[in-house]
Chain A
Amino acid sequence: MTVAAEGSPPLRMAGSRRSPLLQSEAVQGLALISPTFVYALILLVLPILVVIAHSFWTQNYLTIDHTFTLENYRIALTEPIYRDLLWRSLYISLTVSLLTVALAYPIAYFISFHGGRHKSLWLFLITIPFWTSYLLRVMSWKVILGYNGVLNSGLMGLGIIDEPSTALLYNSSAVIITLTHAWATFAILPIFVSLEKVDRTLVEAATDLGDGPLRSFLRVTLPLSAPGIISAALIVMIPTVGDYVTPKLVGGKDGVMIANAIQAQFGKASNWPLGAALSVTTMIIVSLMAGATVLVIRALQRLAR
């Protein structure tokens, strides 16, 4: 491309002196980013294309039959077990993202508006638990919620309950609690960033014009921080729908999610095309749900103004 730029006719060169320069900047920039870009192409884009291709094929014992078929999608969407797992995964990821955002908003607000000199210390304190191993955090919830766990033995010690409750662990609530904890930081940060961008003079103007603190919050601060709420919701929703560790460790039989079924297709069941179709279906449906969430938040934002 550089050669082409240098070899362009002198007539055009004279016309726009900046054009070759700009082009060479583009070439340099692209050349510099290309190794990383190619890496992402080979290990992310290509694999996803391969998964999509597999979802239209059939597992034939040890070989793959490459004839185009929609059978895997029919199974993924109509077979009760997969349909139920998919619904439950969507329900759990939606609940977790709403819960996480609702719990995270006040703390992000607090840090942004009242953090004062300690803003970065607060942010640091909030990120630290997130950097610890995800597996270990899930494991500690298992320790807390278990039959002989911290919560049960603690409550029994305090005389609040007489015998250990089995309702804490091995159900979808346990999965929801654990995921809400695990993704907290991811929700706080985008909300915090968008709250930092809220023009403080607008809030003052609203107050000057007679809005009470609650009203000016609802009509100015909250709608202006909608972009942060949207990214927080999406950042939590999309990855949690495919969570594998949490349902496996604390979900029990009633907390199994779609990722566990996908893993089984690549492991024991050894039906790659079905596993691929389940993955693609999950991604498409969660993207639709994410899109709907964005629309709902935008509509609410318009209403608030």
Chain B
Amino acid sequence: MTAIKRFLPGWLPSYAVLYLLFLYLPVIFLPIFSINTAATPKFPLSGVTLHWYEDLPHTPALIDATWNSLMVGVSASILSTVLGILAARSITRYRYPGRRAINGLIMAPLVLPEVIVAISMLLVMLQLGLSLSLFTVVLGHVLVCIPYSMTVLTSGFEGFDRSLEEASADLGESAFGTFRRVTLPMVAPAIISSLLVCFTISLDEFIIAFFLTGTEATLPIYIWGQLRFAAKLPGVLALGTLLLFASFVLMTTAEILRRRAARRTQNEGGLHA
């Protein structure tokens, strides 16, 4: 609390702002060029149009890809959140040998090259005689979503006060009543946050879907296919803008919920800590 000046070079605040610009600028060009009349994305802009967006609902392949993505996303987020709940509860509540090693293994997909994870799964699935389909994509997405689900849920479960559950039981609530009226309200925001995070990751994930899908395309695979045609670029930009917007809304909601969950269990651990 003394008046000691912490080391703050004058350039640091401006650097911070420039860095944010560097992070955001590339992303901002997608929406800008998606409403540009010209088919090639370059300056100066030639005029404003919603034409590229109007075309989207009339592309059957795109509609299929959207449905596929939604189905994969919903299944993957539910499965990985269920597996995440079990693991996060075990990690935060119990002490046992091998806990760190098991946690490390579950978190490993986060730091492995995706291509290698994808081709390894591909090899095993082909060996097991599974035919590639959206189901195999879901299996792959669950593996990469679990680490994120774990991070969100551990921050929600940590500091969870068990005495509240015990108090409820002592006051005569049944086990189910305690779960429904005490446990669930406290962890529900973290669970919903995990569902949203996993859904967003699955929605945006490309590499694993690319290797593990059969003939059905998810949205990123559809986009990848369209990238070969220069003339299709504005449509892809429009679709990309919608996806960006969806990710933004989903992740903001997830973060707000996660913070609420962390506050409820009186723990301010970060999503990324």
Contacts and interface: CB of A to CB of B under 8 A. Distances in A.
Partners in one complex: yes
Nearest to B84: A36
Interface stretch (A6-14, A76-84, A125-133, A166-174): A125-133
A129 B4 contact: no
B247 A133 contact: yes
Nearest to B5: A213
B142 A39 contact: yes
B109 A44 contact: yes
B7 A40 contact: no
Interface stretch (B70-78, B168-176, B181-189, B200-208): B200-208
A230 interface: no
Interface string B212-253: 000000001001100100000000110010011001100110
Contact of B251 (A35, A131, A154, A239): A131
A235 B98 CA distance: 23
A140 B25 CA distance: 9
B86 A36 contact: yes
Contacts, number: 265
Contact of A128 (B7, B43, B251): B251
Interface stretch (A67-75, A144-152, A295-303): A144-152
B124 to A, nearest CB: 4
Interface in A271-299: 272, 275-276, 279, 282-283, 286
A157 B127 CA distance: 56
Given A148-B42, A241-B113, A25 B96 contact: yes
Interface string A24-63: 0111111011011101110111111011001000000000
A264 B85 CA distance: 38
B122 A266 contact: yes
A244 interface: yes
Interface in B104-122: 105-106, 108-117, 119-122
Contact of A110 (B16, B140, B143): B16
A244 B115 contact: yes
A29 B93 CA distance: 8
A132 B109 contact: no
A51 B204 contact: no
B207 A28 contact: no
Interface in B23-59: 23-24, 26-27, 29-30, 33, 40-44
Nearest to B126: A272
B6 interface: yes
Interface string B125-152: 0010000000000011011001000000
Contacts of B29: 140, 143-144, 150
Nearest to A30: B96
A181 interface: yes
Contact of A40 (B97, B123, B143, B252): B143
Interface stretch (B60-68, B158-166, B265-273): B265-273
A44 B108 contact: yes
A269 interface: no
Query: Chain B, interface size: which category?
Result: 35 or more
A111 B16 CA distance: 9
B270 A50 contact: no
Interface string B190-213: 000000000010011011000100
Contacts of B12: 106, 109-110, 114
A48 B4 contact: no
A11 B6 CA distance: 62
B61 to A, nearest CB: 17
Contacts of A127: 251, 255, 271-272
A148 to B, nearest CB: 5
Contacts of B255: 124, 127
A272 B117 CA distance: 14
Contacts of A32: 86-87, 89-90, 93-94
Given A36-B87, A157-B44, A239-B111, A131 B119 contact: no
B52 to A, nearest CB: 14
A44 B42 contact: no
A1 to B, nearest CB: 11
Contacts of A208: 4
17 contacts: A29-B93, A32-B89, A35-B83, A36-B84, A36-B87, A39-B146, A40-B109, A43-B142, A44-B109, A44-B117, A47-B120, A54-B123, A103-B19, A124-B255, A140-B27, A144-B29, A150-B42
Interface of A: 25-30, 32-33, 35-37, 39-41, 43-48, 50-51, 54, 103, 106-107, 109-111, 113-114, 120, 122-129, 131-137, 139-141, 143-144, 146, 148-150, 152-154, 157, 181, 184-185, 189, 193, 203-204, 207-208, 213-214, 216-217, 221, 234-235, 238-245, 249, 259, 262-263, 266, 272, 275-276, 279, 282-283, 286
Interface of B: 2, 4-8, 12-13, 15-16, 19-20, 22-24, 26-27, 29-30, 33, 40-44, 83-84, 86-87, 89-91, 93-99, 102, 105-106, 108-117, 119-124, 127, 139-140, 142-143, 146, 200, 203-204, 206-207, 211, 220, 223-224, 227, 236-237, 240, 243-244, 247-248, 251-252, 255, 259, 270-273
Q: Which 7 A-B pairs have CB atoms at the shortest separation, nearest pair first? A: A242-B113, A29-B94, A47-B120, A26-B96, A133-B204, A153-B42, A32-B90
